[in-house]
Amino acid sequence: MSVPMTGAQWRAALRAEGVQFVELEGWTGRGRDEATGKPFGPVYGVLNHHTAGVDSLNLIAYRGQGAAVPAPLAHALLPKDGIVVLVAGGRANHAGTTTGNILGAIVAERSIPRPDRASGVVDANDALYGLETENLGDGEDVYPRGQYDTLVRFNTAVCRHHGWSAGSAAGHLETSLEGKPDPAGPVEGYGRRGRFQLTMNQLRADVGERLAHAASWSPATEEDDMPEYVNLGLARSYRLASGLWDDVQFTKEWADEPGHHAENSATFVKGPARFTGTLSLRLEWLPAGEVVQVRMSEWEGGTRVHDHPPHEVIGTEGGTYSTVPLTKRVGPGREMRVELSNQAGGEIEVASVVLSALVWVES
- Least separation, in Å, of the C-beta of 151 and Zn ion? 14
Choices 182-190, 212-220, 317-325, 343-351; region in contact with Zn ion by CB under 5 A: 182-190
Which is nearest to 255 in space by CA: 357, 336, 334? 357
Q: Which of residues 265-294 bind Zn ion (CB under 5 A)?
A: none
- Total site size for Zn ion, rule CB under 5 A: 3
CA distances 155 to 40, 125, 162, 323, Å, are 18, 17, 11, 54
- Least separation, in Å, of the C-beta of 222 and Zn ion? 32
- Least separation, in Å, of the C-beta of 78 and Zn ion? 13
- Least separation, in Å, of the C-beta of 66 and Zn ion? 16
Distant-in-sequence, close-in-space partners of 6: CB < 8 Å, separation ≥ 6: 28, 89
Choices 177-185, 196-204, 246-254, 332-340; region in contact with Zn ion by CB under 5 A: 177-185
Identity of the residue, 12 or 52, whose beta carbon is nearer to Zn ion in the bound complex: 52
Q: Does 174 bind Zn ion (CB under 5 A)?
A: no
Amino acid at 290: E
Identity of the residue, 49 or 261, whose beta carbon is nearer to Zn ion in the bound complex: 49
Choices 62-70, 180-188, 246-254, 337-345; region in contact with Zn ion by CB under 5 A: 180-188
Identity of the residue, 90 or 183, whose beta carbon is nearer to Zn ion in the bound complex: 183
- Least separation, in Å, of the C-beta of 53 and Zn ion? 12
Scanning 164-231, the segments in alpha helix (DSSP H) are 172-175, 200-211
Q: Does 49 bind Zn ion (CB under 5 A)?
A: yes
What angle is formed at CA 129 by the lines to CA 128 and CA 133, rounded to 5 degrees?
A: 125
- Least separation, in Å, of the C-beta of 175 and Zn ion? 9
Q: Which of residues 154-173 bind Zn ion (CB under 5 A)?
A: 172
Distant-in-sequence, close-in-space partners of 249: CB < 8 Å, separation ≥ 6: 234, 265, 266
DSSP 3-67: SPPPHHHHHHHHHHTT--EEE-TTGGG-SSHHHHT-------EEEEEE-SSSS-HHIIIII-BTT
Identity of the residue, 176 or 356, whose beta carbon is nearer to Zn ion in the bound complex: 176
As a whole number of angstroms, the distance between CA 252 and CA 314 comes to 26
As a whole number of angstroms, the distance between CA 236 and CA 320 comes to 17
- Residue from the set 134, 149, 182, 206 that interacts with Zn ion by CB under 5 A: 182
- Least separation, in Å, of the C-beta of 172 and Zn ion? 3
CB burial readout 236-248, b (16+ within 10 A) else e: eeeebeeeeeebb
Cβ 55 vs Cβ 65: under 8 Å:
no
- Least separation, in Å, of the C-beta of 176 and Zn ion? 7
Identity of the residue, 64 or 272, whose beta carbon is nearer to Zn ion in the bound complex: 64
Q: Does 75 bind Zn ion (CB under 5 A)?
A: no
Residues near Zn ion (CB under 5 A) are 49, 172, 182
